[in-house]
Amino acid sequence: MPHKESAAPKIHPSAVVGPEVELGPGVEIGPFCMLDGRVKLGARTRLIGHVTIFGDTEMGADNVVHPTAVIGDEPQDLSYSGAPRQVRIGDRNIFREGATVHRGCEKGLVTTIGSDNFIMHNAHIGHDCRVGDQTIIAGGALLAGWVQVGDRALVSGNCVVHQFTRIGRLALTRGGSRMSRDIPPFCIVDGVHTLRAINVIGLRRAGFSAPAIAALRRAFTALFGARQNLRLAVERLLSSGPPTPEVAEMMEFIRASRRGVAFGPRAARNGEFEQ
């Protein structure tokens, strides 16, 4: 059945909706929500109740925001003086209870979240973060300012990600991990930014072929099977023959790193690189 784009927004009598707020067709604002400032909600977005959104914030269509979530509040940055900053969010995202998304900071501009993401309870996305599409940010995970999360990455429960850290596409961070170094695409990390393996299960679910996964596993062992100069390891791997597109993506991510890349374990254990 096609969507009824002409449906008027539904606003609970207890909700507070400011004069600058723009609501698309079919939007539902539940009880005790507060929308203040320049807020724009796309078609059929639903705020279940007790949701707070501050402007300048724009959300696309079909988002669902659960109680006590706060989106667009001031950044947790002592230098912030109230300058106009933004949050931009795509379509079909789910924000569970207590999730927070902060606007850009004094030296930044905009916090962006793509589409089809699942932001679980009490997760925090700090100022100026860049979150891609189809990610999962699990309960209690904390993304500090300027963090980048690639498409289909999974940040598990209670993970702590330091500011400016990048997490690559289809990477997986195990629960309780701490990261202040970049996490290459397709990798699994745990502990204190320690790489353990290629995210084989995630790659299979994403439709990657067996040869593509095998090439990534070989590259992972060559790069992270022993502590070594990573730039030299990348050059050796390149000299061994043309890389597959996925291996090339991993190496380009490593070469672009400014914070430094997470490292492999100090000594491989039995089955260390297996999944």
Look-up of token digits 């969507």: 3
Cβ atoms 69, 96 nearer than 8 A? yes
> Three-state SS for 190?
strand
Residues in the chain: 275
Cβ atoms 145, 129 nearer than 8 A? yes
Rounded Cα distance between 274 and 121, Å, is 31
What are the tokens at 21? 């707020």
Residue type, 185: P
Q: How far is CA 245 from CA 11, 100, 124, 219, in A?
A: 49, 35, 33, 12
Q: Catalytic residue numbers?
A: 127-128, 145
Query: Strand 39-41 and strand 57-59: pairing?
Result: parallel
